[in-house]
Amino acid sequence: MPRSLSMPSYPRFRRAILAAALGLCATAALAVDPPEPVPDEEPIEAPAADASAASRPGDVPAAQQISLEDVRTFTAVLSLVKEAYVEKVDDRRLMRAAIHGLLNDLDPHSEYLERKALESLGEDASGSYPGLGIEVTTVDGTLRVISPIDDTPAARAGIRPGDIILRIDDTAIVTDNVGEAVDMLRGAPGTEVTLSILREGAAAPQEFRLKRETIRVASVRGRLLEPGYAYLRVSQFQSETGSELRKRIERLKKDNGKPLAGAVLDLRANPGGLLTAAVEVSDALLDSGTIVTTRGRIREAEMAFRATPGDLLDGAPVVVLIDNGSASAAEIVAGALQDNRRALLMGRRSFGKGSVQTVLQLDEERAIKITTARYYTPSGASIQAAGIVPDIELADLALTENEPSSYPVTSERDLRGHLRGDNEATATTTSPAVHSGAPRDYALNEALNALKAMALQRRAGPGKG
């Protein structure tokens, strides 16, 4: 799934959910304990409903009451399944299926979480887990790749954003089991798995054989592309991403020996992560302004995050690279820097996950993750299902190095009897050497060229009319 974002948990919201649940449970002979909040560093979380009118179990506003006819229909279906299904099915399995169906039918990001899924939430936030290093989501009953994570088995095998996973080993991925697919992708380090993948434009599926390993994701990497120009790669947003970015920028400044002239922030194939990390990364490059706001049906969902003084690059130009694998927290950063006119966005339209999920714990081993709000960029735009549109769109191309010519470079000075120039002795006709840090991918090369132009314009200062 695209990574979710974190916000506080809300007791009143939990009481409102419990009150509604008890109304149904009284008929279905079920009981649920009040949910407890998970730690703040979990997937995008939003506020809670004002349950002042639901202070007593079952005391739910009329507009929120469950229809008695719907309850009768549910119990009738349950009874018929138990009586007529070809095999005997126990009540616990049927009720679990009903709960899964209730949440899965809302949207692709709301779900019922049991022990393994809850454990994976903590693993995702820490950046260490056993698996393939692949982020997926469900689209119309199919399992689609959001992005492979840098330097993982999925990335090394050539898995791409947009790939559709048809089979995992001998198991076909269908609507009924797509929710279990993440567990099927994970496994003990050293074990192998075969993925059958349908790629856009391909006539037939391709098979990829991958070996699972412990995924330890370094969320921030960086280097100098050329003297003065930094490359900052954020692969996902974890609990330490903000501090790691600050340390990396300070290290690159030191390596450069003077302030940086500009930086490329690469958010391509970044599936997202923690809201707090997205806010910290944005704040590191902003002096002021709104970073992101959230809005939902309930008052507590109205939240806003603003930048604090202190731009780590001291106003040096920034180019942000995004693509269709940039999702969730990555889109928050891209939108904040674009709307505050702090960075130029280049690449392709982003994924478009602009919703907020709250994790509400039922007990130590069970919870629900439910969408409670949408988030908005500083300009007030929602990117839900629309994505962030870059300022300059780039095609998905690759760079290749030209073969060296067997013929010498010809210029005016090589012509017989040419008119001698004043600076001829210092002129050169050799091709410029390729810097060891020069980018090999098309988008990064274009970003570096744009960054140099922005830096030159900044040095030149405002034009005179």
pLDDT at position 398 is: 78
Residue 15 has pLDDT above 70, yes or no: no
Q: What's the start-to-end Cα distance of the chain, in Å?
A: 52
CA atoms within 13 A on the CB side of 43: 33
Q: What is the mean predicted confidence (pLDDT) over 435-449?
A: 79
Whether 253 is a known active-site residue: answer no
Locus of tokens 């300009």: 379
Express each pLDDT in 293-329 by its tens digit: 999 998 878 899 999 999 999 999 999 999 999 999 9
Q: How far is CA 286 from CA 71, 197, 309, 317, 334, in A?
A: 52, 41, 7, 12, 12
Is there a contact between 46 and 292 (Cβ–Cβ < 8 Å)?
A: no
Given 150, 283, 323, 339, the catalytic residue? 339
Is 405 catalytic? The answer is no
Residue found by looking up tokens 């939430």 in the block: 121
How would DSSP label each residue in 5-31? ------HHHHHHHHHHHHHHHHHHT--
Supply the pLDDT for residue 156: 94
What is the dihedral angle through the alpha carbons of 382, 383, 384, 386, rounded to the nearest 10 degrees? 130
> What length does the chain have?
465
CA angle, 153 then 157 then 161, to 5°: 95
pLDDT digits (tens, 9 = 90+) for 201-219: 899 999 999 999 998 878 9
- pLDDT at position 181, please? 86
Burial 244-277 (b: 16+ CB within 10 A, else e): bbbebbeebbeebeeebbbbbbbbbbbbbbbbbb
The phi-psi region of residue 392 (left if phi > 0; otherwise alpha if psi is between -120 and 50; otherwise beta) is: beta
Angle value at C-alpha 349, between 348 and 354, nearest 5 degrees:
145
Rounded average pLDDT over 374-393: 96
- Would the pLDDT of 277 be above 90? yes
Residue reference for tokens 């126990």:
90
Model confidence pLDDT, tens digit, residues 127-181:
678 899 988 888 888 899 988 888 899 999 999 988 999 999 999 998 878 778 8
Residue 400: closest CA among 439, 431, 433, 435: 439
Model confidence at 367: pLDDT above 50: yes
User: 301 CB contacts (<8 Å, ≥6 apart)?
Assistant: 46, 47, 294, 295, 356, 372, 373
Q: What is the largest CA-CA distance in the chain?
A: 103
Catalytic residue among 219, 353, 355, 369: 353
Residue 431 pLDDT class (50, 70, 90 cuts): low
Contact 239, 277 (CB under 8 A): yes
pLDDT in tens, 413-425: 878 888 888 887 6
Confidence of residue 72 (pLDDT cuts 50, 70, 90): very high
Share of the chain above pLDDT 90, in %: 58
CB neighbour class for 115 (10 Å; exposed up to 12, middle 13-18, buried from 19): exposed
DSSP 144-207: EEEEEPTTSHHHHHT--TT-EEEEETTEE--TTTGGGHHHHH---TT-EEEEEEE-TT-SS-EE
Over residues 255-266, the pLDDT tens digits come to 999 999 999 999
pLDDT in tens, 18-54: 434 433 443 343 333 333 433 333 344 333 334 333 3
The predicted structure's pLDDT at residue 36: 40
pLDDT of 55 over the 60 cut: no
Structure tokens at 299: 């008052």
Question: What was the pLDDT predicted at 403?
Answer: 62
Any idea which of 58-62, 75-79, 166-170 has the lowest mean pLDDT?
A: 58-62
Cα 144 off chain centre by: 14
Q: Which H or E run contains 80?
A: helix 68-84
Among 271, 291, 289, 428, which Cα is nearest to 353's? 271
Known catalytic residue at 328: yes
Mean pLDDT across the chain, nearest whole number?
A: 83
* Amino acid 153: pLDDT: 95
Strand partners, 230: 224, 263
- Please, what are the domains in the chain? 1-56+74-127+218-399+437-465 (3.90.226.10), 131-216 (2.30.42.10)
Task: Report the percentage of the chain scoring pLDDT > 70.
Answer: 79
Confidence of residue 281 (pLDDT cuts 50, 70, 90): very high
Q: Are residues 118 and 367 in contact, defined by beta-carbon separation less than 8 angstroms? A: yes
Check residue 356 and give its pLDDT.
87
Given a cut of 70, is residue 436 above it in pLDDT?
no
Q: Is the pLDDT of residue 355 over 90?
A: yes
**The pLDDT of residue 256:** 97
Give 58 or 395, the one with higher predicted confidence: 395
Which entry of 328, 350, 355, 452 is annotated as an active-site residue? 328
Closest CA to 193 of 215, 169, 173: 169
